[in-house]
Structure 1
Amino acid sequence: MRLLTFVIIASICFAHAYNGTCGTWNILKNRTKHKQKVYSLSNYNSERCSYEQYYDSVYTIKTPHIQVFYVLSGPHTTTKAFAETTAESMEAAWEFYVGKLQMRAPKGPSTTHHFQQEVKDGLYPIEIIDIEQVRDPYGEYSCASCYGLTIQQEENTATQIFMENDFYYGSSHGTNSEKIIADGDTCYYAKSTIPLLNKTHNYSYTDEWAKGIRLTSFHEFYHAVQLQYLNTVSSNNIFWFEASATGYEEVTNPEVDDYFSYLPSFFNDMGVPLSQINQINNHKIYGVSTFFLYLYNKVSKNIDKSIWENFSRNPDKPFETQLESSLQKIKLNADSIFHDYSVDLSFSGERSQFIPKKDWITSDQELWPSANVLSEDSITPEIESLAFKFYRSPNNYTEPNFTDYLGKASIISFSKGEATVHTIKSTKSLDSLVSILSTSDSTIWVFSRFGVSENIPITSKDASPHAFPVPWKQGPLCFAPLPRDKKFFEIRNRRGDLITQQKYDGTSFCMQEDQVKSMMAPGIYRFRVGNKGKTTSFMVIY
């Protein structure tokens, strides 16, 4: 038996908010399963009733580029106002992507998939249906709790979009059923009763359906545009396929903030490449939209168009190659851009107050959850490409072990309500930061890696421990490099009398100004690690 020549491509869904699995990841898995001729999700309980018996009159609304199909009875019932809003929103999406951004226009089939209606030449079809009960005889399109769905024909570049008819789901649960009489047959179907929710602002899309329609329109229509650049969605582009469409939701509907609900899972997956998606964490794919928003708001409004053009020319190349190529055209380094994004991301939620609003990724960054920050006594960063990690530095300063590290690093110092980012060019640059970091209220390390990346040069630590600045006049008095196999150092006066013995962790230690003045009058002092061996002199003046 020849399989139906449609490939499911994408959907918006809320698998993480409920106990089901759905969306692109789940549907792509469906394509690998053995298909059997069954009605959609077994929602049609009267096997003698055909798909056609569940709808009669199919109505249509036309705009300059869009044709919407809908019905007013049966499982796919909607309202004329709902259909008109869908037509208006889809037309707006066309004007934005095709008109303003000059991206490729999607091409639709001559006949719609579900209602089997003829499409006017030159218009793009949208069918408003209960997506859980889509015409799906081979079980490919299983998608519960979905806003919308985009499918592509295997034999050409034609695509089509399904819009959820009322933003209720649950018909696949089969707990509520209704019936219609068609051609003398009693045909039963499951009723969806569970509303899709916007958890960010606590409302139901069944009530605020116009917002749900507009959100879905700009997301799904972008998938239709993307598919003009791809033969199929594959492992090297699937995460960006969804992340960029979700990013455009925020660009075009900034008041909805639907992507907020995915950010906790995104931050919980810190340290894992953005492109690494599996069944457990598939919803984090929408949180990756923060990287799209960074590129769109801080790099170029046309960057994503360039990325998809690169995929069109080299479909087998990974995302890193596509982005790197796009950034090279505007003379930017991809590794540096990704690190800057990672640093900006660390200022999510409450930490956004420490930087100017103009430096935020988006204007609502203060409303995000705060990114997770790891706390460890010693820091040995190790990450793959397209990953980042944040560490809280114990005692404000602990030098990480950079021996095998590939990637970029920065340390952020927080002091008096402001944050300062210090980029680490080599381990030598750390010595000059010791006094600054030791007097900070707190510090956070940011590590990131993009592509092959490079080592952070490690300078020789053979230099003898010494005090600085010398002569000391004010501010912190610091000592470095301190050997890791020792636990304390001591300071003595010129006569050899012990002034203080200080315990330390790491490879440096700083005494604060008031502490120095309380222990040492102006003069010459000697310093050494441990209580044996040669001392090094330094001068105190104030």
Structure 2
Amino acid sequence: MRKSIFITFILLFNFYLAFSADSDLKTLHDNTQKTLTTQPAYFDSSQGRFIPQCGTSHFVEFNFVKNQAATDPSKSLGPLFHIPRPSYGSRTELTYNSPTGFFKIHYVLAGDSAVYQPTVDSDGDGHPDYVEKVADIFDSVWIFEVNGLSYRKPPSDGWYPGGFDNGGDSLYDVYLAELAPAFYGYTVPETTAGPSFSQSFTSYIVLRNDYPVPPFPNRPIYDNVRVTVAHEFFHSIHFGYDVFEYEYIPGNADSVRPYWLELSATWMEDLVYDYINDYLAYLPFFYNYPWLSLRTFSYNFSFPDRVFHPYASCVWAFYLQEIYGTDIIRRIWEKCGAVSGFNFLTATDEALREVTDPDKGIAEAFTEFTIWNYFTGDRALFGNYYTEANLFGIEIKIDTLHTVTSADTVFVTPGIKSNPPQNFAANYVVFIPMPLSAQDSIGGLNMEFYEAIAGAGWRISAIPYNLGSVPVTSEFDTLIVGQWYDSTANWASYDSVIMVPTPINFSTNFSGWQYGYKVNYDSILSAPSSFLSRDTIFQNFPNPFVIRNPSDVTYFPVTVSEQSHVFVDILTPDGNIVKRLKTNQPLPGNSAYKNKFSLQNTGLEWDGKNEKGQTVASGVYFYRVKTQNAEKLMKLVVVREK
């Protein structure tokens, strides 16, 4: 039995609570407490490993119920009602302030919540090494996320009136405690940051006192701490923008859905600590279920595909980062914070239109995202799509595979799909060309698509794919209402043609959108091949560039349409040259260099040293990239971690 940390149900500031609200919150509180102290980690037999998770969503749900009670005229619940801070019972609570003065770490040396190796104190200052290392990691993450990426710092609890628990002062509080095996840690939204910030909440973090193997991954314990800190601290930033940024779907068993919080926090942990790759364990819950909506969320472990889908959906944030730059996630959160309550989908649409053009919003981006998701694992194309696609270890699940000969017509009646895509999801239908003669190799495929019911907002992509080659994709055109058409010429040039139907709509219909299609050979479909027509310069990665080891580098990805040297100048904010880079040899035309595998040994990598061979200081730098046909000035951030 866990004795050293417990949560009791109280009222901060002694607000009176009507019985019906009290009953609802008490029940939810008891269920939350039970989950966080007893829930076993889910074992994924397909991977042969446990899959722990974040516990923050349970407090988001609690906060929703609390807010409903507070806004109900029949109930008198004040805004300062919340779950109390953790308590260590009879154990002596100790604290340690982080070196930067950002955090206060709370811990004990004995009992169930005793920190990892409580007697190891290398510097003899009275605080265990584990506590000091946790504090250093928190400081590093703050510098990365707030100073480096320009996110708003979490609201301070220093204004709390005397006698009410704010951890002792205005520092951000972190409690080290024993948790159920299912959880890395959690972040608790507490109360409004002030009368003019109704959706901006203070918070605190509860982190594990240790990370036993199993259920946690068998890697250095501080790597488990690192990904947890990066994830949970981003939640504290989330709550500073908008604590109500979750989708509420009434009448649903999982009505409170903070999928955007978990999606973006999982993305952030990999951005801060790119080498750990904790997110890879979640990916099967996305790639094995492509028909599940981006808006999928569940608290019920009877449905692990839905429980872990939000974490696996971090690939949406990876896609946005690689196309629009790291700042796009912050832009979306800033728009979320400008409106109290859920507006993630519209905020994303607005942010994308601002950074590209008014005609390319969330529908266009998500359609392209579904194409990216086909090229992972064994289908990864070095230099294209996800930078780490080859590490994913999984490919998207195919809905249906058809072999098509020149004598065939494939027809699927609308309405018979067993797993039709939900909104913001996709199916992958693959056609394998099989010409019956050399003469038949000249033509191509006609493809018609039919909706079963109006309102889906269909976007249908065609991917003519030849193993190892970058495809030139297309989108189906509307023939008549409810019917779309596309064609692929030179069908014998491809190993397969993939049709990707994607419904883009904001409805709460999660039963899936049915469709049908017809595909047949057409002898007149032939066309010349396509090639890259322009050079493209992308954001460096990783950015921020965290320097921990001499081997750390950041890369400068490009595509070139014709043979070209590429030049990179690293600059200080006032324009002074820090370092000049040049490709070792001209890059061949019609080629892409977009991930670290294709960029290695090209000369388009920087180790963080200046022309004198000295490692540069932390800070903001600029860089100018020049190819034969393009030139671009961009910003990068350097963070030196001790």
Aligned pair 1:195/2:214, yes or no? yes
CA distance in 2, matches of 1:13, 1:324: 38
The correspondence of residues 11-30 of structure 1 with structure 2, limited to 5 A, is: 14-15=41-42, 17=44, 23-25=55-57
CA shift in 2, pair 1:126/1:111, >3 Å: farther
Does the residue aligned with 2:244 lie in a helix, a strand or coil?
coil
User: Which residue does 1:243 correspond to in 2?
Assistant: 263
Amino acid at match of 1:23: G
CA shift in 2, pair 1:222/1:255, >3 Å: same
CA shift in 2, pair 1:163/1:96, >3 Å: same
Amino acid at match of 1:98: V
Contact 2:475/2:486, CA 8 A, preserved across alignment:
no
The alpha-carbon deviation at position 167 of structure 1 amounts to: 1.3
What whole-Å deviation, never above 9, does each CA across 1:393-440 have from its counterpart, x for those lacking one?
254757242345632222222236324232124268x99844422442
User: Which residue does 1:391 correspond to in 2?
Assistant: 429
Aligned pair 1:309/2:307, yes or no? no
CA shift in 2, pair 1:366/1:130, >3 Å: closer
Aligned pair 1:229/2:241, yes or no? yes
CA distance in 2, matches of 1:2, 1:366: 45
CA distance in 2, matches of 1:94, 1:125: 13
CA shift in 2, pair 1:125/1:29, >3 Å: closer
Q: TM-score scaled by structure 1?
A: 0.64
Contact 1:25/1:282, CA 8 A, preserved across alignment:
no
Amino acid at match of 2:223: K
CA distance in 2, matches of 1:16, 1:31: 29
Higher fraction of helix: 1
User: Which residue does 2:94 correspond to in 1?
Assistant: 58
The alpha-carbon deviation at position 219 of structure 1 amounts to: 0.4
CA shift in 2, pair 1:276/1:467, >3 Å: closer
CA shift in 2, pair 1:223/1:54, >3 Å: same
User: Which residue does 2:592 correspond to in 1?
Assistant: none
The alpha-carbon deviation at position 224 of structure 1 amounts to: 0.2
CA shift in 2, pair 1:436/1:75, >3 Å: same
Does the residue aligned with 2:386 lie in a helix, a strand or coil?
coil
Q: 2:368 aligns with which of 301, 326, 340?
A: 340
CA shift in 2, pair 1:22/1:195, >3 Å: same
The alpha-carbon deviation at position 147 of structure 1 amounts to: 1.2
The alpha-carbon deviation at position 150 of structure 1 amounts to: 0.5
CA distance in 2, matches of 1:19, 1:469: 49
CA shift in 2, pair 1:254/1:445, >3 Å: same
CA shift in 2, pair 1:439/1:268, >3 Å: same
Amino acid at match of 2:239: L
Contact 2:159/2:170, CA 8 A, preserved across alignment:
no
CA distance in 2, matches of 1:13, 1:91: 30
CA shift in 2, pair 1:20/1:33, >3 Å: farther
What whole-Å deviation, never above 9, does each CA across 1:420-479 have from its counterpart, x for those lacking one?
232124268x998444224422222222233479xxxxxxx9xxx985279x9x99xxxx
The alpha-carbon deviation at position 32 of structure 1 amounts to: 8.5
CA shift in 2, pair 1:54/1:415, >3 Å: same
The correspondence of residues 366-515 of structure 1 with structure 2, limited to 5 A, is: 366-375=391-400, 378=411, 383-395=421-433, 397=445, 399-403=447-451, 406-415=457-466, 417-426=468-477, 433-451=487-505, 468=524
User: Which residue does 2:562 correspond to in 1?
Assistant: none
CA distance in 2, matches of 1:438, 1:399: 16
Amino acid at match of 1:146: F
The alpha-carbon deviation at position 119 of structure 1 amounts to: 4.2
CA distance in 2, matches of 1:364, 1:90: 29
User: Which residue does 1:252 correspond to in 2?
Assistant: 272
CA distance in 2, matches of 1:365, 1:89: 29
The correspondence of residues 69-80 of structure 1 with structure 2, limited to 5 A, is: 69-78=106-115, 79=118, 80=128
Aligned pair 1:351/2:379, yes or no? yes
CA distance in 2, matches of 1:19, 1:367: 16
Moved more, 385-394 or 24-33: 24-33
Q: 1:216 aligns with which of 228, 239, 245?
A: 228
Contact 2:432/2:495, CA 8 A, preserved across alignment:
no
Does the residue aligned with 1:385 lie in a helix, a strand or coil?
coil
Contact 1:407/1:450, CA 8 A, preserved across alignment:
yes
The alpha-carbon deviation at position 374 of structure 1 amounts to: 1.4
The alpha-carbon deviation at position 274 of structure 1 amounts to: 0.8
User: Which residue does 1:324 correspond to in 2?
Assistant: 349
Contact 1:324/1:333, CA 8 A, preserved across alignment:
yes
User: Which residue does 1:492 correspond to in 2?
Assistant: none
User: Which residue does 1:106 correspond to in 2?
Assistant: 154
Does the residue aligned with 1:418 lie in a helix, a strand or coil?
coil
Unaligned runs of 5+ in 1: 35-49, 133-143, 169-193, 454-460, 476-542
Q: 1:163 aligns with which of 207, 219, 230?
A: 207
CA distance in 1, matches of 2:52, 2:226: 25
CA distance in 1, matches of 2:522, 2:186: 66
**Matched length:** 399
CA distance in 2, matches of 1:246, 1:466: 46
The alpha-carbon deviation at position 309 of structure 1 amounts to: 1.6
RMSD: 4.0
Does the residue aligned with 2:138 lie in a helix, a strand or coil?
helix
Q: 2:187 aligns with which of 150, 153, 171?
A: 150
Task: Give the share of equivalent positions with the same residue, in percent.
Answer: 19
Contact 2:282/2:311, CA 8 A, preserved across alignment:
yes
Aligned pair 1:131/2:175, yes or no? no
CA shift in 2, pair 1:120/1:297, >3 Å: farther
Contact 1:266/1:284, CA 8 A, preserved across alignment:
yes
Does the residue aligned with 1:92 lie in a helix, a strand or coil?
helix
What whole-Å deviation, never above 9, does each CA across 1:334-383 have from its counterpart, x for those lacking one?
2111111110111011011xx3x232223354433111111155455864
The alpha-carbon deviation at position 91 of structure 1 amounts to: 0.7
CA distance in 1, matches of 2:270, 2:498: 28
Contact 2:55/2:185, CA 8 A, preserved across alignment:
no
CA shift in 2, pair 1:98/1:31, >3 Å: closer
The alpha-carbon deviation at position 244 of structure 1 amounts to: 0.2
CA shift in 2, pair 1:52/1:126, >3 Å: closer
CA shift in 2, pair 1:158/1:432, >3 Å: closer
What whole-Å deviation, never above 9, does each CA across 1:488-509 have from its counterpart, x for those lacking one?
xxxxxxxxxxxxxxxxxxxxxx
What whole-Å deviation, never above 9, does each CA across 1:245-284 have from its counterpart, x for those lacking one?
0001111111211111111111222112111223311111
CA distance in 2, matches of 1:466, 1:218: 54
CA shift in 2, pair 1:196/1:110, >3 Å: farther
What whole-Å deviation, never above 9, does each CA across 1:129-170 have from its counterpart, x for those lacking one?
1134xxxxxxxxxxx4211110111454221011100113xx
CA distance in 1, matches of 2:157, 2:89: 23
CA distance in 1, matches of 2:133, 2:51: 31
Contact 1:410/1:446, CA 8 A, preserved across alignment:
yes
User: Which residue does 1:85 correspond to in 2?
Assistant: 133
Contact 2:59/2:188, CA 8 A, preserved across alignment:
no
User: Which residue does 1:273 correspond to in 2?
Assistant: 293
Moved more, 97-106 or 231-240: 231-240
The alpha-carbon deviation at position 27 of structure 1 amounts to: 5.4
